Amino acid sequence: MCIRDRAYYDAVELLEFYQERIFGLQRLNEFTSLVGELFQHLSLSPDALSAALSYLEGCRLGPEARAMIYVGALASRRWSDDQEHAARRLTTMLFNDHSLIDVVGTESVLQLLDFYARRRQTLDALRVCAALVDHTLNTGLDSAALVARMWPVITWDAEATDAARELLRRYIRGVPQRDLPVIVTYLERTLGKSLGEMMRATWLLRVACILYTSDAADDLLCVDLGCRRIIKTNKHNATHQYLNVSTSKSYLTSHILIQ
């Protein structure tokens, strides 16, 4: 009633009371779901809804509740362009705290990505993608499926595609080594051979860096900038042995599995 009567300050105070006195930490998830549903079923004009959301700034509501309120508000307007304020606030929260993705759900985050893609807002779309990618790095093939799902959404022009390629490289550099063989194979089959070659090159560079730091840490061995292993025989003499790093799929697979 407070929101419908445009008593937004009173509405936020009432929500704070319910969060702290009625639900508490033990029932935080229940409260979070409740406020999300509340805003999803509001029948407010775009301006009135934006005004209500502006009162969330600086309030005592937890980030989980605020994130769900923004999702509920966007859903109530069917993710229309008139709720850019809610979309931007939600994006900032997800980018700064990836754990909130579990609160609002992956599907809501993908809808947020569609919101920016529809408006051709490259920077905001990439921020959403980066949050999703970083959050799912340790989920194996599920993360690769998510990347494949995002790819056609964020490659609407040359600039966006170039940025998306860099995001894909970042993903390959960040996933656990044990998952790389199946992930690269899956994405190459899904996204195409040219992107597969790019991912394998990124993979190879990652392996080369591992070899370099591994050898440099050895007491007797080190590697110079020309990728040569320097074997010290005494304080005056040293021999150089070139490191032959194969670019074949079989080498990459076997080396990563060993690591």
Quick: pLDDT tens for 29-49. Answer: 999 999 999 999 988 899 999
Which run of H or of E encompasses 183?
helix 180-191
In this structure, the number of other CB atoms found within 10 A of the CB of residue 115 comes to 23
Give the three-class secondary structure for 128. Answer: helix
pLDDT band at 7 (very low <50, low <70, confident <90, very high): confident
Residue 258 pLDDT exceeds 60: no
Which run of H or of E encompasses 222?
strand 221-223
Per the CB < 8 A criterion, the answer to whether 113 and 87 are in contact is: no
pLDDT of residue 243: 40
What is the rounded distance in angstroms from the CA atom of residue 212 to the CA atom of residue 229? 9
Residue 55 pLDDT exceeds 60: yes
What is the rounded distance in angstroms from the CA atom of residue 220 to the CA atom of residue 196? 37
Mind listing the pLDDT tens digit for each residue in 141-189?
999 999 999 999 999 999 999 999 999 999 999 999 999 999 999 999 9
Dihedral of the CA atoms 25, 104, 52, 81 (nearest 10)? Answer: 170
Mean pLDDT of 70-89: 96
Distance (Å) of CA 147 to CA 48, 60, 108, 114: 36, 35, 15, 14
